[in-house]
């Protein structure tokens, strides 16, 4: 049985003769033949019958055949019979459902094996995304509810794969993503599986209720399953920002990224050293390196205080109070004219303002000792370290101290901590742990995490999103490289052309996530209006496609290169119906025109209640 897709009407070889016959007939018509309802419109029965024939252009999608008692679909034709032996049928209801949802047995078996390897107890339930829709004009084939045929996709097609959601604004991209998020969550709930989902919500439409979704949202419908983050203090949202005092390495990295993307008036040798530095904690078994890291971290925290970053309640800085250090400071004070008594911390953990005073004093002592040593033709080291001939103030610490004092080592004024004041809005004094690790914990628990990027500084979209994505990718790849099975998770990204555009370096975070994340159990869903602007390597490796209306020939030309989307180019350019998509999934051998199910909060709430009731009954 050959599977055909009807593309368009087409001329028959004898059409010119038929048209000439029609014209001649109408020229000879009599008045009595022109009233409505005239039998055969005045033509003799044979001629009228001949004029009714027409042709349809079709594409052969494959051949259905039985093998070992199982239905299979081949991608070509093995045999072709003469016209007298052929019959054409339009499938409806059960037959149509079998065709559009058909998966060859070996493909289904492979999907089951992948599901078991991923920790599933069995084959996950199919995800219902919508119903078959042939054309924009759906008066006949979708007239009755019984005529609607459900389109399903296998969760294993979706998980650990790349999915493109393409289309113009207001044609159903967001609805498709919401429906997909809901379908994945419901399938996971039904089968008792944990599948974490992370949404980079550029416009806040997934985290917040809006009129398009009956004043509801993903967060409201899945209230027990959803965690929302925002870069502002807002009720109902977790803080997306980082506590720079607690997470110094993350804070420094964010400041460095933001500074490089800005046009700042500040420059200088110490600032450059600051921007190239790192506060990544070394192994504590390397005692000397770990001690130096503590000093750098402490001065960085003092820099934050001087720049006006709010200090967390009860926060204290660990300062150096080694006996040899204090001895050198006191000796310096005694040698001054008149002698001074330095204020030395009585304990290692002190308030930030006291730490600032202590480090500024250490800087003055260090520079003063250098001048004395230089004048005496001694080795210039300033404050001496425990290693003979070495300075206690290393190059990185010196740059940090100069930033704190806003003065170079040559006692010239510099911008110092003023260069980082602009980034105070990215700091959250109320956060006590790294937000990325917190997000990972929610994902591991199978929750839906929504990062609302619609509020706060614009730069947060690129910098914070990239940092979170990089950490997730590194974590998943690390687990995989250890020979373990990573957690299944799905990442959704809007306006993806800004992140994985044509000019993107494939070694950068987002392209790597899209290109290599699949092997680390990361499903990547990207939505965009401009498929031609997405990196071609990413498009070529995309397994699932959801395409709505596109009005640009360049975009359609790009799309026509993939699978059998060429058959739908005319329809995609003309049909602006919301939610009318053409879907191609990994397991499906051809594109299926589909009306995506509308995100309906009431329906989803009822399905959640049914699943919970079934669970309670099973217990």
pLDDT digits (tens, 9 = 90+) for 539-574: 888 999 999 999 889 999 999 999 999 999 999 999
Model confidence, pTM: 0.80
> Of 3.20.20.450, 3.40.50.300, 1.10.1740.10, 3.40.50.720, which CATH number belongs to 129-241+431-618?
3.40.50.300
Q: What is the pLDDT at residue 369?
A: 95
Instruction: Classify strands 150-153 and 162-166 as parallel, antiparallel or unpaired.
Output: unpaired
The residue-averaged pLDDT of 567-584 equals 92
Q: Give 212-244 pLDDT, tens digit per residue.
A: 656 668 888 898 899 999 887 888 898 888 899
Query: Residue 601: CB partners within 8 Å, gap ≥ 6?
Result: 213, 214, 216, 220, 221
* Residue, of 34 and 436, whose pLDDT is higher: 436
> CA-CA-CA-CA torsion for 123, 187, 497, 435, nearest 10 degrees?
-110
* Residue, of 615 and 299, whose pLDDT is higher: 299
Mean pLDDT of the chain: 88
Domain ranges within the chain, ordered by starting residue: 2-89, 129-241+431-618, 248-426
Q: Does the structure show a pLDDT above 70 at 456? A: no
CB 343 within 8 A of CB 319: no
Q: What is the pLDDT at residue 214?
A: 62
The residue-averaged pLDDT of 48-69 equals 86
Alpha-carbon span 180 to 525, nearest angstrom = 10
């Amino acid at each position: 049985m050959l599977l055909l897709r009807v593309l368009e009407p087409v001329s028959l070889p004898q059409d010119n003769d038929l048209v000439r016959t029609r014209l001649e007939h109408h020229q000879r018509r009599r008045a009595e033949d022109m009233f409505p309802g005239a039998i055969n419109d005045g033509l003799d029965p044979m001629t009228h019958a001949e004029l009714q024939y027409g042709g349809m252009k079709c594409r052969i999608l494959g051949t259905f055949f039985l093998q070992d008692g199982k239905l299979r679909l081949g991608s070509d034709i093995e045999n072709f019979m003469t016209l007298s032996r052929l019959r054409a049928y339009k499938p409806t209801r059960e037959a149509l459902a079998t065709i559009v949802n058909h998966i060859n047995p070996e493909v289904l078996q492979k999907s089951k094996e992948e599901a078991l390897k991923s920790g599933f107890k069995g084959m996950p339930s199919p995800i219902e995304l919508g119903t078959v829709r042939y054309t924009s004009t759906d008066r006949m084939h979708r007239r009755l509810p019984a005529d609607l045929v459900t389109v399903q996709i296998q969760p294993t097609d979706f998980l650990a794969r790349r999915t493109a959601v393409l289309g113009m604004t207001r044609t159903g991209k967001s609805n498709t993503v919401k429906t997909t998020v809901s379908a994945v969550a419901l399938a996971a709930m039904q089968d008792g599986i944990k599948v974490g989902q992370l949404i980079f919500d550029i416009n806040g439409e997934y985290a917040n209720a809006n009129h398009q979704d009956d004043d509801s949202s993903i967060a409201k419908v899945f209230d027990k399953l959803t965690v929302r983050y925002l870069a502002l203090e807002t009720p109902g949202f977790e803080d997306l920002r980082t506590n720079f005092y607690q997470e110094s390495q993350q804070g420094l990295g964010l400041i460095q990224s933001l500074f490089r993307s800005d046009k700042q008036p500040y420059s200088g040798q110490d600032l450059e050293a600051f921007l190239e530095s790192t506060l990544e904690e070394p192994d504590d078994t390397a005692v000397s390196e770990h001690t130096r890291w503590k000093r750098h971290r402490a001065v960085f925290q003092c820099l934050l205080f001087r720049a006006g970053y709010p200090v967390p309640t009860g926060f204290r800085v660990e300062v150096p109070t080694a006996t040899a250090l204090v001895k050198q400071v006191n000796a310096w004070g005694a040698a001054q004219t008149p002698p001074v008594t330095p204020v030395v911390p009585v304990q290692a953990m002190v308030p930030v303002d006291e730490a600032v005073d202590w480090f500024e004093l250490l800087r003055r002592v260090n520079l003063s000792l250098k001048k004395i040593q230089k004048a005496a033709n001694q080795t210039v080291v300033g404050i001496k370290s425990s290693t003979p001939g070495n300075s206690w103030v290393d190059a990185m610490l010196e740059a940090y101290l100069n930033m704190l004092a806003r003065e170079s080592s040559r006692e010239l004024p510099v911008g110092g901590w003023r260069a980082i004041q602009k980034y105070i809005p990215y700091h959250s004094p109320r956060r006590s742990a790294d937000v990325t690790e917190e997000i990972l914990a929610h994902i591991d628990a199978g929750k839906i995490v929504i990062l609302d990027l619609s509020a706060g500084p614009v730069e947060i979209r690129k910098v914070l999103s990239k940092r979170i994505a990089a950490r997730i990718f590194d974590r998943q790849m690390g687990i995989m490289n250890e020979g373990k099975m990573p957690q299944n998770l799905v990442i959704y990204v809007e306006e993806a052309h800004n992140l994985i555009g044509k000019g993107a370096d494939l070694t950068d975070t987002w392209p790597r996530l899209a290109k290599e994340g699949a092997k680390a159990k990361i499903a990547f869903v990207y939505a965009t209006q401009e498929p031609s602007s997405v990196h071609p390597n990413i498009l070529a490796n995309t397994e699932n496609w959801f395409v709505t209306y596109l009005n640009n020939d360049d975009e359609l030309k790009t799309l026509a290169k993939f699978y059998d989307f060429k058959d739908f180019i005319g329809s995609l350019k003309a049909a602006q119906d919301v939610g009318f998509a053409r879907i191609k999934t990994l397991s499906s051998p051809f594109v299926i025109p589909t009306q995506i199910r509308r995100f309906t909060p009431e329906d989803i709430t009822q399905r959640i209640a049914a699943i919970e009731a079934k669970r309670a009954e099973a217990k």
